[in-house]
Structure 1
Amino acid sequence: MEMAEGEGTTEEKYDVDIATTASSLGGSGAFHIINDIVGFVLYMHQQIPSVLQDMSLDFDGLQTEFMDLEAHLTQPDVKPLARRKLVSRKREVKHEIKKLQKLMSSISSLRSALQLMIREAPDIQRVVLILGGSPLRPQKAYELLFTHSDNVLNFESDFSKSKATEALSKKTIRALISTGAGSTSCPGPMRLFILVHAPPSLNLPQHFIPKRDFRYNRKFVPLKLRFKCRAQDEAANSPLNSGTNDLIWFQCRHVIKGLAFQQPVFHRSRKMIFKIEDVTVYFPYENIYPEQYEYMVELKRALDAKGHCLLEMPTGTGKTIALLSLITSYRLSRPDSPMKLVYCTRTVHEMEKTLGELKLLHEYQVCHLGAQAKILAIGLSSRKNLCVNPQVLAAENRDSVDAACRKRTASWVRALSAENPNVELCDYFENYEKAAENALLPPGVYTLEDLRAFGKNRGWCPYFLARHMVQFANVIVYSYQYLLDPKVAGIISKELQKESVVVFDEAHNIDNVCIEALSVSVRRVTLEGANRNLNKIRQEIDRFKATDAGRLRAEYNRLVEGLALRGDLSGTDQWLANPALPHDILKEAVPGNIRRAEHFVHVLRRLLQYLGVRLDTENVEKESPVSFVSSLNSQAGIEQKTLKFCYDRLQSLMLTLEITDTDEFLPIQTVCDFATLVGTYARGFSIIIEPYDERMPNIPDPILQLSCHDASLAIKPVFDRFQSVVITSGTLSPIDLYPRLLSFNPVVSRSFKMSMTRDCICPMVLTRGSDQLPISTKFDMRSDPGVVRNYGKLLVEMVSIVPDGVVCFFVSYSYMDGIIATWNETGILTEIMQHKLVFFETQDVVETTLALDNYRRACDSGRGAVFFSVARGKVAEGIDFDRHYGRLVIMFGVPFQYTLSKILLARLEYLRDTFQIKEGDFLTFDALRQAAQCVGRVIRSKADYGMMIFADKRYSRHDKRSKLPGWILSHLRDAHLNLSTDMAIHIAREFLRKMAQPYDKAGTNTMGRKTLLTQEDLEKMAETGAQDMVY
């Protein structure tokens, strides 16, 4: 294309026509549209860090951080390492401030020049924005054409932005996005040039240079936009007939140099795009494992069938990216479908990892497809993880943070602040409320850190913004509780569409999560706290009777009419939803005996007295909910229907009394949880009262437990509500037991093997020590001095030959404490520490986190370390020991549950009677899935390697060993069974020597099949329909 003086003699085509109802766009309107498009071009091509409106906020944020860093550095108690980090960050921030200051100055100069030009030539008709190294060689170009009426010629304005102009500007940006503008980033920092078609008489030499012969490459076609005003005679207003020969091009002297904030640009040829039947799958890596491809095929079958599935995928084989690639690509292939991905993880760490993978995938899809591939994906967590208010974050724990937030955001607190300016509010929440419907997240993938940064920059509350965006997001990543716990799901997830695809990742313990969501424990300390809560509630009722009796009367009338309460609440006033499942909640008026506040308090008093009497026992008691409710009715006069409404009635009363200290009222909430659940469910539950812990019988600690035995109760609403639920993990064996535990029929149930070019996993079953004595953690053997000594000698021998990190898992905290104390007394621990440092997991999260950090530092420095941990603990469930952090994992014993637990025995009885699952089968299944989860921590990729020692003679039995996942059993050779310590050491030496040899990552396995597939391999498979390339 050529642009030169005298152009416009032929009719031109425009990519986008944007009409406005105004009779004239005006010079002010043209200025604001140009300004907004400049911001769009710079931001969408990633040349500036944020939209123009927010750059001042970014600048202020950097200045604030710089001052905070200076203040920290003046403190005398800053340690040298922390000081170096602060100085380094201060230097970076100072550099960012200078760059942003220069950028903002260039933009300000450009705006001033445009305003001066428009004052002289208000009927501006053509503007060209060029992004590139020079105007002659553009990377991107946008040509704007404006039509005006005659009345614009006498233009005088302060350049204020009218509502009509703002609406037109938004319409323009939407039109640009729909055409794919800005869908790809430019390679590195670019310059933005602006050229204007204006009369030759324009005299602004400090701001514009005449370019009479301006032209650029004919092959380059810009994106053209035409703005059409409502005019009497379009022909008269057309630039083609309005003397364009009298106009020449002027280039603005103020050039904006971008800072290149883009992410790494994908090379299209180096990533994978392939077809699975009718779905084009975008995979952001150069190769794909055969098991990943098979996983996608099975997952697509489940999505096509609109059913649920169970998929077991070995650890370290890219399960997450395979799942995300298939589901997002499936959604792209059906643009009219309202499909939403709801991805549930167990920990915040896993949530962040998932969003990081999704961010990489999203960038790749946008690179290929442009704007149509853009999605909104958010992570959602508690206030403690999303809050940016330092005063709220200063609270001790999650419940305290929730209460501190509520004290600043509750509707009655905000109403009171209008009368009393001393009432403390949250500025972030107030700014979010002021933004109203404009408080939206632009498309993108947002981790928790991204949400906090966005909230700080905009001055909005990230927590309430994320909750608001759940209804608009295409992908939501949050914890299991947001779907399985009725108290949380009733608030957060109640509006999700049926077409959503729900994924439970690392779901080997999903039955336990379901049971915990519907179980409640009450101790004496709970009852004491609940009594204090009732005393305070009674005081508040008396105060309101004296000062605002109308609120209590209004609440009574509402309860008489049976109005639903929760649907009318703002997000800040909602506490937690009803603990019963949605279809079990009564849709009727509250019973008359608890409508009045004082009557309800009296009912709760009687309930607390009854529970106190039941806890005062010396014998273990077990009964069904029906029997318990019958006894409660006869002795305390509380009916079943009254119990069902306890939780809702408590919530209503606390809202009426305007109570914000929710953390202080947790005891009475727990009691009302118990009452509602015991009054709602007759089957699948037991009430168990224990006067003391059987492991410490001399310490009185009575506890009353409402224990749920049926995991299918909590997950049934999820299966019924959503068309596809995916349960996936690396340890689901035996996979046929989960459908029975959760009462569902999967359309796909599949366990995948791991394809390898080398045996990077070396599992061993150790049954004897060096002295040939059997080893086991069976109750009658675990304290045997010979067993303790042999376990210690095994570890001493292994740490002397295994480099870097060694991880040990014990069956319980008490057993770990006891055996390490014995090792310390006998000198074994000293021998271990001669080779490696020793770190421990404790029940304190902070201590464990510090221990893990120092463990990694010891491995990084080459000193090596041993980490002692516990099966079913935090480390076993969520921490990866990949690469040199875990070259060996030892599972000391079989991690059976405490088999004398009354709750466990009641559950086993229920499983036997209801699902015909034998007690021994379930106990073995549960123990082996925990053991597999522990040893799987050391293998996180196929390039990794590690050894696994199952140190207990019971692992040699086939009925136990067969419950391990197939990807472990396939590497467990007969020669590695029934080993002694000496034999295990020999095998370990050979394995480590073998792993030190170079190997072909893209080679074939022992059967001659490829372990890494290329784009060509997949295309060949699609053509021939053959699957023989896949393992």
Structure 2
Amino acid sequence: MKFYIDDLPVLFPYGRIYPEQYAYMCDLKRTLEAGGHCVLEMPSGTGKTISLLSLIVAYQRHYPENRKLIYCSRTMSEIEKALAELKRLMKYRAEQLGYEEEFRGLGLTSRKNLCLHPSVKREKSGAVVDARCRSLTAGFVREKKERGEEVEVCVYHDNLDLLEPHNLLPPGVFTLDNLIQYGEAHKQCPYFSARRMMTYCNVIIYSYHYLLDPKIAERVSKELSKDCIVVFDEAHNIDNVCIESLSIDLTEDSLRKATRGATNLERKISEMKASDEQKLQDEYQKLVEGLREADEARAEDAFMANPTLPDDLLKEAVPGNIRRAEHFAAFLKRFIEYLKTRMKVLFVIQESPETFLHHLKDLTFIERKPLRFCAERLTSLVRTLELTNIEDYQPLQEVATFATLVATYEKGFMLILEPFETEQAQIPNPILHFACLDAAIAIKPVFERFSSVIITSGTISPLDMYPKMLNFSTVLQESYPMSLTRKSFLPMIVTRGSDQQPITSSFQHRADPGVVRNYGALLYEFAKITPDGLVVFFPSYLYMEMIISMWQGMGILDQIWPYKLLLVETPDAQETSLALETYRTACETGKGAILLCVARGKVSEGIDFDHQYGRTVLCMGAPFQYTESRILKARLEFLRENYMIREQDFLSFDAMRHAAQCLGRVLRGKDDYGVMVLADRRFQRKKNQLPRWIASEISEDALSTDAAVGLSKKFFRTIAQPLGPGQTLPDGTTKGKDSWNLKELESFQREQRAHRGEGDVGRLDATMHDYMHSAVNRADGDDGAGDEDEFGADGIDDADLMDAQMSL
């Protein structure tokens, strides 16, 4: 359909549009016009991606600035989905307009996923693929080939140099499969084709790390212009991505390998001195003159990019004491030996980067400044020595990254040296964490550089926490309700077992046999009544293993087997993949299965359990983080002191966003249905921190197991009955309207304009929300009771409200 938002013509590739999609598009347009940032929460399964792409592509085509869209998502599957939606949208636009627009949309992923080289693509490790790729495509390898030397090169990469830089790919939308197919057909590298074409694209879809991790962003995203529109989709975990991009861990094993790497460097330097000393002299001269190695012509084959943010790069020459290659190799070895001596302690050390640098200087006389240049100097040396087997130098690269980071940053970072893996361990296995505590540091250049940044997800409540943690201001924050034809999901909170004993996964009660038995009884009862798939989430692997073991001893698993197959997620990716495959097969061909997972694991973050794959989701306990973690304690202290976020507020927020993410896995569209069970008494106090579209549907928040099972039976019985427009089921459910055709949308817009003409601008959004609330009410078959009234009182009638006011 084609409709207008103010003066903007929008082509939407479906015949009907959800009210929340239209509201989402209106708010996106307001954000783009205001030139600021926003946080938007759109319910799961309501077409968030296509709404966003339709509005922004329409905006690009209508306004002469033609701002580029950078769409960032978390997983490969989400990137593939976004590219497929974009392809569908552009096909629809071509059909409606009668011509193909000059438009390029590209996805970018790692070399491992796009490589065509016969021997390199067989490698299983991404790091090895990257290293082997660089050894075939580096500038010095091509120079040797041109001189007639016998060296192996990548023909797919070399063919790109024969093409015009702006025309490596024709106009159109290329999914990752399309890129590979085009590369195979034209014998050109898909990975470098996509990277080099980014400047000429209208839409780029890739992972968060390409924008947030300075080691990657320096190579891939630095050419992007300031007027780009940046979208972080599925952004509920964006703060963790920011922190991980500036954190690094070192172990004794990695230091041993780094020492070997530094020794190999010294040997290679000696060999080059004997065979071609002029190259080392040339490099030295460049460093004296302050010529940066990060020049664009050679950025593609750089061994490593600088791990610091662009504004923190030193714009000056490399210090004299590490300019000579042999001096730098000796410098690295001395620094590694210092780190090894620090690892020998048998107690925990926690210190700031400044304290660490003081101690380092006192013992070794190593100054801060040469440390800051370690990453850059190592990249230069690896290139000068023309090293090809660079995967052997990966541990040395980690040490250089650590050196550069620790010497660059002071505030918002902490060094923590833990001599033992666990509190109970007897044999030392030390690990040195350089932990970033401030998520705002990594994302700050993004907010400063790009005029509009949109942070969006299906589960991003409470909205105001993200601007606080990431230290930015918004022009808009909005959470949309979900309009439904009928109540298609049933969220509930179970606080008691059938014996009325409270259930919780809190540390004091988690091993209580009564609590464990009640959790087992809850699973058994839902296994009996749930059709097809049942997904269960636990707070941690440790707790899941403990509770499964206790259920086995109590005979609960033997009771469940006749009803469902039981499968378990493990930390091993291959085992989990096999378990998922078996689970899906059981849901398709058998009586269904139960998948036991972890709330912060891969399944909770990246796997959708749509339709028969997830008819019930059980959260067995609130997924709070392990509060004894020293890194978490340091971060909590930092948040309290710098952003006024209390420890308990952050922990609750973090637990509830992961719980909401688990619940959202089973509802992947408006034609989907499922039961959502939060089984822990602590959820009762924190339900307001759930996304609005889930929290508004929770009518019961203190159920026993029996009551929850009874409500679920009724729900499954009701949802199984077909319902036509205007029909009413025995329980009072009627079929409402959850979408508009073009005529209905235009009618709604006329109503909006009438309110606008009356000067009631605030009423514009209220009209939308009133409609959507009424759609939900029609779906529930209620009369509006329990909705928020004009005083903001949820479920309080007028008499109660008057009594409360009198008592005040």
Structure 1 residue 439, shift from structure 2 partner: 5.2
Give the corresponding residue for 2:690.
964
Cα-to-partner distance string for 1:569-612 (whole Å, 9 max, x where unaligned): 43542233211110010000000010011111111112111111
1:696 Cα offset (Å): 4.4
1:749-768 Cα deviation digits (max 9, x unpaired)? 11111111211111111112
Cα-to-partner distance string for 1:603-654 (whole Å, 9 max, x where unaligned): 1112111111111111111111111111111111111111111110111111
Match of 2:608 among 880, 889, 896: 880
| Pairs within 5 Å for 1:503-582 | 503-582=231-310
Deviations 1:262-289 (A, max 9, x none): xxxxxxxxxx110001111110001111
State whether residues 757 and 1006 of structure 1, in contact with CA within 8 Å, keep that contact through their aligned partners in structure 2: no
Normalised TM-score (structure 1): 0.72
> Could you tell me which of 321, 345, 349 is aligned with 2:50?
321
In structure 2, the residue matched to 1:770 is: 498
The Cα shift of 1:434 comes to 2.9
What residue number does 1:282 align with?
11
* CA deviation after TM superposition for structure 1 residue 319, in Å: 0.6
Q: Which residue of 1 aligns with 2:805?
A: none
Describe how 1:687-698 pairs up with structure 2 within 5 A: 687-698=415-426
AA aligned opposite 1:991: F
Cα distance change, pair 644–371 in 1 and its aligned pair in 2 (3 A): farther
Secondary structure at 1:700 match in 2: coil
3-state secondary structure, aligned to 1:563: coil
Cα distance in 1 between the residues matched to 2:726 and 2:174: 34
- Alignment partner of 1:414 is 2:142: yes
Q: How does 1:658-697 map to 2 (within 5 A)?
A: 658-697=386-425
1:712 maps to 440
In structure 2, the residue matched to 1:990 is: 714
Amino acid at match of 1:570: R
1:302 and 2:22 matched:
no
In the alignment, which residue of structure 2 is the partner of 1:1018?
745
CA distance in 2, matches of 1:296, 1:369: 21
CA offsets 1:849-907 (integer angstroms, 9 cap, x no match): 22212211111113301111111111111110010100000011111111001000000
Q: What is the aligned partner in structure 2 of residue 794 from structure 1?
A: 522
The equivalences for 1:131-210 within 5 A come to none
Secondary structure at 1:622 match in 2:
strand
Task: Give the Cα separation in 2 of the matches to 1:791 and 1:447.
Answer: 44
Q: Equivalents in 2 of 1:830, 1:451: separation in Å? A: 50
CA contact (8 A) 2:346 2:428 kept: no
Q: Distance in 1 between matches of 2:527 and 2:704?
A: 16
Partner of 1:785: 513
Query: Which shifted more, 372-381 or 440-449?
Result: 372-381
- Of the three residues 473, 481, 495, the one matched with 2:201 is 473
The alignment's C-alpha RMSD in Å is: 1.8
- Structure 1 equivalent of residue 620 of structure 2: 892
Q: For the residues of structure 2 that align with 1:969 and 1:919, how far apart are their CA atoms? A: 23
Contact (CA 8 Å) 1:1003, 1:1012: kept in 2 or not?
Answer: no
- 1:942 equivalent to 2:666? Answer no
Return 454-463 or 386-395, whichever deviates more.
386-395
The partner residue of 1:804 within 532, 553, 559 is: 532
Tell me which amino acid in the other structure corresponds to 2:31: A
2:303 match: secondary structure: coil
Of 686, 705, 710, the match for 1:981: 705
Q: Does residue 555 of structure 2 align to residue 831 of structure 1? A: no
Structure 2 CA distance for partners of 1:522 and 1:894, relative to 1, 3 Å = same
Contact 1:632 1:638 in 2 (8 A): yes
TM-score (norm 2): 0.91
Provide the secondary structure at the position in 2 that maps to 1:679: helix
* 1:371 Cα offset (Å): 4.0
Gap change, CA 1:679 and 1:1022, over 3 Å in 2: same
Structure 1 residue 372 displacement after superposition: 6.2
Match in the other structure for 1:583: 311
| Range with bigger deviation, 818-827 or 502-511 | 818-827
Structure 1, residues 438-487: CA drift from partner, whole Å, max 9, x if none? Answer: 75211111111110000000011111111111111110000000000001
- Cα distance in 2 for partners of 1:313, 1:1006 equals 25
Amino acid at match of 2:509: M
Show the counterpart of 1:376. Answer: 104
**Do the aligned partners of residues 1008 and 948 (structure 1) sit closer, same or farther apart at CA in structure 2, a change above 3 Å counting?**
closer
Q: Does 1:725 align with 2:453?
A: yes
Q: Is the 8 Å Cα contact of residues 1002 and 1011 (structure 1) preserved in structure 2? A: no
5 Å-filtered alignment, 1:605-754, equals: 605-754=333-482
Partner residue of 2:487 out of 732, 735, 759: 759
Match of 1:312 among 22, 28, 41: 41
Count of aligned positions: 755
Counterpart of 1:964 in structure 2: which amino acid? L
Secondary structure (helix, strand or coil) at the match of 2:697 reads coil
Partner residue, 1:244: none
Change (3 A) 1:965 1:792: same
Q: 2:8, 2:268 → 1: CA distance?
A: 61
The residue that corresponds to 1:96 in the other structure is none
User: 2:476, 2:140 → 1: CA distance?
Assistant: 51
- Deviation digits for residues 223-247 of structure 1 (CA, Å, limit 9, x no counterpart): xxxxxxxxxxxxxxxxxxxxxxxxx
For residues 251 and 99 of structure 2, the distance between their equivalents in structure 1, rounded to whole angstroms, comes to 56
Larger radius of gyration: 1
Contact 1:395/1:404, CA 8 A, preserved across alignment:
no
Cα distance, 1:1002–1:454 mapped onto 2, change above 3 Å? farther
In the TM superposition, residue 422 of structure 1 has moved relative to its aligned partner by 4.8
| Residues 424 and 352 of structure 1: CA distance in aligned 2, closer, same or farther (over 3 Å) | same
**Partners in 2 of 1:666 and 1:542 — Cα distance?**
21
Kept after mapping to 2: 8 A contact 1:307/1:724: yes
Counterpart pick for 1:364 among 92, 95, 106: 92
Structure 1 residue matching 2:262: 3-state secondary structure: helix
AA in 2 matched with 1:753: P
For the Cα contact (< 8 Å) 2:83–2:205, is it kept in 1? yes
- Higher RCO structure, 1 or 2 (CA under 8 Å, sep 6+): 2
Secondary structure of 1:835's counterpart equals coil
SS in 2 for 1:823: helix
* Residue deviations 1:114-159 (CA, integer Å, cap 9, x gap): xxxxxxxxxxxxxxxxxxxxxxxxxxxxxxxxxxxxxxxxxxxxxx
- What code does the residue aligned with 2:243 have? I
Higher deviation after alignment, 667-676 or 770-779:
770-779
Q: Structure 1's 761 and 1008: CA in aligned 2 closer, same or farther, altered over 3 A? A: closer
Q: Distance in 2 between matches of 1:568 and 1:971?
A: 54
- In structure 1, the partner of 2:639 is 911
Partner residue, 1:11: none
Structure 1 unaligned runs (5+)?
Answer: 1-271
Q: Deviations over 1:137-193 (max 9, x none)?
A: xxxxxxxxxxxxxxxxxxxxxxxxxxxxxxxxxxxxxxxxxxxxxxxxxxxxxxxxx
Distance 2:232 2:282 in 1: 43
Deviation of the 1:968 alpha carbon? 0.7
Q: Deviations over 1:202-230 (max 9, x none)?
A: xxxxxxxxxxxxxxxxxxxxxxxxxxxxx
